[in-house]
Amino acid sequence: MDKKILALSEEGDVDSLTKLLKTLGPNQLEEFIDVRVLRGKGNPTTFLRAVFHGSPCETAEGAAVRVGVYKHVLELLEGGDVSSKMGSELLGFLLMEVEFLPPSAVVDLAQVFVDAVKNGNVTNTKSLDLFSKLLSSLASRETVSYGNGNQMTGAECKSHILNSLCSSRWDSSCVIHLAAVFR
């Protein structure tokens, strides 16, 4: 199935690729990613590119798939089982894709980082580069929906997220890692 995803992406058959991805459950997609990232079978960034190719951000389903992929890759990176080279490649790919995400997805992913900091689950300092990129992307958006559907500018939303982050208690191990975010 994962080879079919790659083949359809290479052929440029977005419609068939999108249909195929809709038949997969989130656990199946995560397993395909795990095989490439943790077991070294195939190039994970090529596979992620294929998944994103078949998950256009213009649709709610496509954006949800992308957010799920981001969250899963972040879990893998925070788990510590990924080599630094592989982690850098994955983060580089995800950083390039941030600008294509819809505002709601950027807010969701930024909230993942806030929750991780609040729970003391930040162990990979490189992943915080993605948090910085998400905040920068958020600040450049004209309007976003935050909280209970409140509409605000991206800069206002960024301020709310940073206020939420700063008003919570942090695990002492997170403080040094977060210094780079506030540059």
CB atoms within 10 A of CB 102: 18
Q: Residue 81 pLDDT more than 90?
A: no
The total number of residues written for the chain in this structure = 183
Residue with more model confidence, 62 or 25 = 62
Average pLDDT, the chain: 88
Which residue(s) pair with 145 in the sheet? 151
CA distance 114 to 122: 10
73 contacts 90 by C-beta, under 8 angstroms: yes
- Tell me what the mean pLDDT of segment 11-15 comes to: 90
Q: Residue 149 pLDDT more than 90?
A: no
Domain boundaries, the chain: 1-101, 102-183
pTM of the predicted protein model: 0.90
CA distance 68 to 13: 22
Amino acid type, 79: G
- Buried/exposed code over 6-44 (b: 16+ C-beta within 10 A; e: otherwise): bebbeeeeeeebbeebeebeeeebbebbeebbeeeeeeb
